[in-house]
Amino acid sequence: MPERQKTKLVPVPSPNLIPERDVDKSPILEAQHLGIDFGGLTAVNEFNMAIGRTEIAGLIGPNGAGKTTVFNLLTKVYQPTRGTVLLDGKDTHNMNTVQVNKAGIARTFQNIRLFDKLSVEDNVKIGLHNQMKYGTFSGLFRLPAYWRGEKAAHERAMELLSIFDMQDLAGVKAGALPYGAQRRLEIVRALGTNPSLLLLDEPAAGMNPSETAELMDNIVKIRDTFQIAILLIEHDMSLVMGICEGICVLNFGEIIAKGTPEEIQNNPEVIRAYLGSGKEA
Amino acid sequence: MDILQNLINGISLGSVYAIIALGYTMVYGIAKMLNFAHGDVIMVGAYICFYAVSKYQLPPLVGILLAMAVCTVLGVVIERLAYKPLRQSASLAVLITAIGVSYFLQNAALLLWQSDPKNFPTFLNGIFGDKGITFLGRSITGTTVVTVLACVIIMVALTAFTGMTKMGKAMRACSEDKAAAQLMGIDVNRTISMTFAIGSALAAIAGVLLCSAYPQLTPTTGSLPGIKAFTAAVFGGIGSIPGALLGGLLLGVIEIFAMTFSTELSNAVVFAVLIIVLLVKPTGLLGKQIREKV
Amino acid sequence: MKEKSSHKRLTSNLITYGIVVAAFVIVQVLGATVGLSSSFQGQLIPICSYIVMALSLNLVVGISGELSLGHAGFMSVGAFSGVIAAAALQQAVPFAPVRLVIAMIVGALLAGVAGVIVGVPVLRLRGDYLAIVTLAFGEIIRNVLQVLYVGVDEAGLHFSTKGEAALQLAEGGRAIIKGPMGATGITKLATFTAGFILVLIALTVVLNLVNSRSGRAIMALRDNRIAAESVGIGATKYKLMAFVTSAVLAGAAGALYALNYSSVLPKKFDFNTSILILVFVVLGGIGNIRGSIIAAAFLTFLPELLRSFNLDKWRMLVYAVVLILVMLATNNPQLRGFLDRIRGKRKQEGEEESTHA
């Protein structure tokens, strides 16, 4: 008789990451039993999470816990081995990275990925790509649709850049920007795709405390103006505890805790796994 | 069509491809670059041996050793001057540089040795007398015997070298992760130089074997077999020594059989093999997959 | 700042157009007054087709960031189909310029079809593998052309791979393409003016594409494929767009080139020609449109110049050395840092001087 497969029954977690103002709506993102194996190694397992439509959620955990892998699974850079991702109730099972973005998920990268040789404005316009309507033919022959489309894109790009006060840098090559500005530009580019969920991978990395504080204000501002959900990976606890409404803690590829910042800060398992010695963050 | 005779010819040609493919596969494995000039190093080796044997009347073995020595130095110098400065650069830049080196060697050879084809001495055929040896009713030339033997010996020796010696282990370490190898105290530059040295010495041997079988030597002799051998390396799985052997033999046999159908289109068939392999199984028959880190 | 950068781009484009138009006018004026040497005259149309080839390859290498080593293959498809079209329409379209235009369009379209056939599988690959497969396709195209026989008679076109006799042409018919002998008996239709117009069209196509939504998508994929996909840009569509556009231009250039001679061998479009075009692109600066034009024109004429000094045999060797040196100078971090420092110093000194003044 074949050996019975080992199953671990995990209760589907309560949607405790959906803020009160969103409870009557369905979550924008639901990850259910999400997991991926690399070769024989399980990188992420049983990842369950629901994010509200206008929530700022945090994904934290020690280095190598699988946080970026979760982003790669949500955006289909990696195809999940198990589980489903529902975006606005729609299964993203058969989608690729491009389709997931068109469906509403935009992201930034831990190791910045800008179009270095192109200008700041062009980077944002590339984010606006699917919002622009004129075709290649109009572009090749400079038809009126081209001029209209380019003018609208220019105005929209400037508007988006103004979130971070970056209009003056529009003509600068993206690769020549200082580090912090590159991180901000990535956010602007992602916003250009008109997402309903924005994934930020360590947005405050390499920033000083005053820059981080400004970034926190801006993240909240982005949520409020665009009325979108934001999920962020961050090591800076002042940022995570300061603006996230729900937090999910990952260790060795599995969720070990979920809750509000207060709950997470007082969770003994989180303190043991994440903070090590039990020091307050 | 004599299937057995074609098979023998195919294995003979395939053995040469396998030896050339080793040079590609080792360099690709360690330096992560396509050394486009590898085929032209073959040509240089063949010319050196030709001049040593035909013009200066040196014994063939001395000619071969001389060719190996010159090619080894040539390979190392090429790596130092042209490839080493670009180790951190985009693959596009490295490949264009390698094409430049290939072009340089061909045109330098054209100036040095002129474009008229040289008749390569057929000393290998004389090893078993004029008739060669007879096998299942087919006569096999000395060149074929030596080629296949050389291929087998080189494969065994190289497998032992990478598996057992310190330098061989250093090579494998570098092909996995150069930075980590460096931290373990491995001299990465020296290891890469060594790889080029071995690959180029093998190219010299391949040059002599190739020109013994097809004795028309010109400055472009090496370029097409070079590209085909790269095809063989990809076919077998780039970075893999047994893969080079397998890919080389298969490709040689395919080419000879294609030739019996259409001489003009035999090259097209070989290239079609490359395209199909890359599309169906880009890692080749014995290669392993690498995941891009995001 | 934005106004300034787009203004700068416009000025730069206008200068490029200006150079091309000025070169044409100067050559025409010189031809009408002083007269041109016959060797120079003979190079005018090849220069035009090589300029278009360089623009075409730069679209793939510079703008799309993929190395194509088989561009001569697309050129040959354009050349041979253009020759066939011109020969087939000899009676139907007696007016030569119109026949030339039709031949170039046919060449461009068929090369475009070849571009799709090659591009769809090839563009799934990356880096060195992609390059080597384009090389393989270029060689396959040449191999196939070497066994292709085409003839024309009243019944229309006849194709065969068996030889001239197998075409079974009716009386009065003639073979146009003869396998390894290539295209023969071509009526010379190409003119310098047609070449100039083709260069202008190619230039417009490339510049307009670069400064449009699709062009930005192509460059985004070049700079960072994963980031481009993350903002919803599909790699296949835009990589293929660049590749096929490039093949179309190469086909038109090939038709122009072939219709300038009485016969053309398939061997003319081998790997060496692909590399020659790559040399133009690299020397002109990868991604630099104006550079491609100047490099193609200069290097196509250079052999004539060197021949008169009996230095021609060194040419290819020098190309090879220059190719290596340009790659080293533009890609080696130390060397580039060194060059930047020199440039930066000069700039700084210049600024200081201007503040003093």
Quote the percentage of chain C above a pLDDT of 70.
94
Per-residue pLDDT of B141-161, as tens digits, reads: 888 889 999 999 999 999 999
- pLDDT the model gives residue B134: 73
Report the gap between the CA of C187 and the closest CA in chain B (Å): 28
**How many Å apart are CA A70 and CA A72, to the nearest integer?**
5
Confidence label for B293 from pLDDT (cuts 50, 70 and 90): low
Confidence label for C2 from pLDDT (cuts 50, 70 and 90): very low
If you search the block for the tokens 């997402």, which residue do you land on?
A195
Contact C209, C56 (CB under 8 A): no
- pLDDT the model gives residue B29: 86
**How many Å apart are CA A62 and CA B66, to the nearest integer?**
59
Neighbours of chain C (3+ CB pairs under 8 A): A, B
**How many Å apart are CA C273 and CA C62, to the nearest integer?**
18
| Conformational region of residue B135, where left means phi above 0, alpha means psi within -120 to 50, and beta covers everything else | beta
Q: Which residues lie closer than 8 Å to C240 by C-beta, 6 or more apart?
A: C116, C119, C120, C123
If you compute the radius of gyration of chain B from its CA atoms, what whole number of angstroms results? 19
Of C54, C23, C9, which is closest to residue C289 (Cα–Cα)?
C54
Q: Is the pLDDT of residue A277 over 70?
A: no
**How many Å apart are CA B85 and CA B93, to the nearest integer?**
11
> Residue B241 domain-assigned?
no
Q: Is the pLDDT of residue A1 over 60?
A: no
Residues of chain B with C-beta less than 8 angstroms from the C-beta of A68: 294
Highest mean predicted confidence (pLDDT) among B80-94, C115-129, C197-211, C306-320: C197-211
Q: Model's pTM, two decimal places? A: 0.88
**How many Å apart are CA B201 and CA B223, to the nearest integer?**
17
Residue B221 has which token pair?
A: 């002799």
Q: Is C357 exposed, middle or buried (0-12, 13-18, 19+ CB in 10 A)?
A: exposed
Question: Between B and C, how many residue pairs show a Cβ–Cβ distance under 8 A?
Answer: 119
Per-residue pLDDT of B13-72, as tens digits, reads: 999 999 999 999 999 888 888 899 999 999 999 999 999 999 898 999 999 999 999 999
Q: Is the pLDDT of residue A280 over 90?
A: no
Confidence label for C307 from pLDDT (cuts 50, 70 and 90): confident
Per-residue pLDDT of C80-120, as tens digits, reads: 999 999 999 988 888 999 999 999 999 999 999 999 999 99
Helix segments in B117-265, DSSP class H: 142-164, 166-176, 178-183, 188-213, 223-236, 241-261
- pLDDT the model gives residue A274: 64
Residue-number span of the structural domain to which B155 is assigned: 18-223
Contact A161, A169 (CB under 8 A): yes
Contact C118, C250 (CB under 8 A): no
Quote the percentage of chain C above a pLDDT of 90.
61
A72–B294 C-beta distance less than 8 A: yes
Confidence label for A11 from pLDDT (cuts 50, 70 and 90): very low
A114–C227 C-beta distance less than 8 A: yes
The answer, yes or no, to whether ipTM is higher than 0.95 is: no
Of C230, C217, C234, C227, which is closest to residue A105 (Cα–Cα)?
C230
Least confident of A23-27, B179-183, C187-191: A23-27
**How many Å apart are CA C231 and CA A190, to the nearest integer?**
7
Q: Is the pLDDT of residue C347 over 70?
A: no
- pLDDT the model gives residue B294: 60
Confidence label for A3 from pLDDT (cuts 50, 70 and 90): very low
Q: Is the pLDDT of residue C345 over 70?
A: no
Confidence label for A196 from pLDDT (cuts 50, 70 and 90): very high
Confidence label for C18 from pLDDT (cuts 50, 70 and 90): very high
Q: Does C92 touch chain A (CB under 8 A)?
A: no
- pLDDT the model gives residue A14: 46
Q: Is the pLDDT of residue A95 over 70?
A: yes
Under CATH, which number does the domain A20-112+195-273 receive?
Answer: 3.40.50.300
Q: CA geometry: angle at C159 spanning C158 and C165, to 5°?
A: 80
- pLDDT the model gives residue B291: 58
Mean of pLDDT over chain B: 89
Per-residue pLDDT of A136-174, as tens digits, reads: 899 999 999 999 999 999 999 999 999 999 999 999 999
Contact C68, C134 (CB under 8 A): yes
**How many Å apart are CA C276 and CA C300, to the nearest integer?**
9
Q: Is the pLDDT of residue B139 over 80?
A: no
- pLDDT the model gives residue B91: 83
Query: In degrees rounded to 5, what are phi and psi of residue C310?
Result: 60, 35
- pLDDT the model gives residue C153: 86
**How many Å apart are CA A176 and CA C288, to the nearest integer?**
20
Least confident of A145-154, B82-91, B199-208: B82-91
Q: How is A181-226 classified by DSSP, letter by letter? A: HHHHHHHHHHHHT--SEEEEESTTTT--HHHHHHHHHHHHHHHHHH
Report the gap between the CA of A202 and the closest CA in chain B (Å): 14
Least confident of A266-270, B191-195, C323-327, C335-339: C335-339
**How many Å apart are CA C193 and CA C187, to the nearest integer?**
17
Quote the percentage of chain A above a pLDDT of 90.
68
The shortest CB-CB distance from C227 to any of A113, A169, A172 is to A113
Confidence label for C357 from pLDDT (cuts 50, 70 and 90): very low
Average pLDDT (C174-187) is 90
Top pLDDT among C339 and B118 is at B118
- pLDDT the model gives residue C344: 64
Of B171, B147, B142, B168, which is closest to residue B157 (Cα–Cα)?
B168
- pLDDT the model gives residue C1: 43
Tell me how many helices (H) and strands (E) chain C has: 13, 3
Quote the percentage of chain A above a pLDDT of 70.
91
> Residue B229 domain-assigned?
no
Query: In degrees rounded to 5, what are phi and psi of residue A114?
Result: -100, 170
Mean of pLDDT over chain C: 89
**How many Å apart are CA B257 and CA B1, to the nearest integer?**
9
Domain locations in chain A? 20-112+195-273, 115-176
First-to-last CA distance in chain A?
A: 52
Q: Does B92 touch chain A (CB under 8 A)?
A: no
Residues of chain A with C-beta less than 8 angstroms from the C-beta of C212: 136, 139-140, 146, 150
Confidence label for C306 from pLDDT (cuts 50, 70 and 90): confident
Per-residue pLDDT of C135-165, as tens digits, reads: 999 999 999 999 999 998 888 888 988 888 8
Residue C75 has which token pair?
A: 């050129």
The shortest CB-CB distance from C323 to any of B91, B100, B265 is to B100
- pLDDT the model gives residue C4: 60
Average pLDDT (A170-187) is 93
**How many Å apart are CA C68 and CA C133, to the nearest integer?**
9
Top pLDDT among C354 and A245 is at A245
Question: Between A and C, how many residue pairs show a Cβ–Cβ distance under 8 A?
Answer: 111
Q: Does C200 touch chain A (CB under 8 A)?
A: no
Q: How is C48-73 classified by DSSP, letter by letter? A: HHHHHHHHHHHIIIIIS----S-HHH
Least confident of C111-115, C244-248, C308-312, C316-320: C308-312
Per-residue pLDDT of B226-262, as tens digits, reads: 989 988 998 898 888 899 999 999 999 999 999 988 8
Of C71, C53, C15, C76, which is closest to residue C198 (Cα–Cα)?
C53
Q: Which residues of B touch C (CB under 8 A)?
A: 33-34, 82, 85-86, 88-93, 95-97, 99-101, 103-104, 106-108, 110-111, 223, 227, 230-231, 234, 262, 264-265, 267-268, 271-272, 274-275, 278-279, 282, 292, 294
Q: How many domains does chain B have?
A: 1
C339 CB neighbour count, 10 Å cutoff? 13
Interface test with C, best of A72, A105, A110, A115 (most C CBs within 10 A): A115
Contact C299, C283 (CB under 8 A): yes
Average pLDDT (B174-185) is 87
Of C338, C139, C220, C208, which is closest to residue B227 (Cα–Cα)?
C139
Cα dihedral A158, A115, A58, A207, rounded to 10, equals -80
Residue A55 has which token pair?
A: 């929530």
Average pLDDT (B79-88) is 91
Q: State the DSSP code for A2.
A: P
**How many Å apart are CA C66 and CA C64, to the nearest integer?**
6
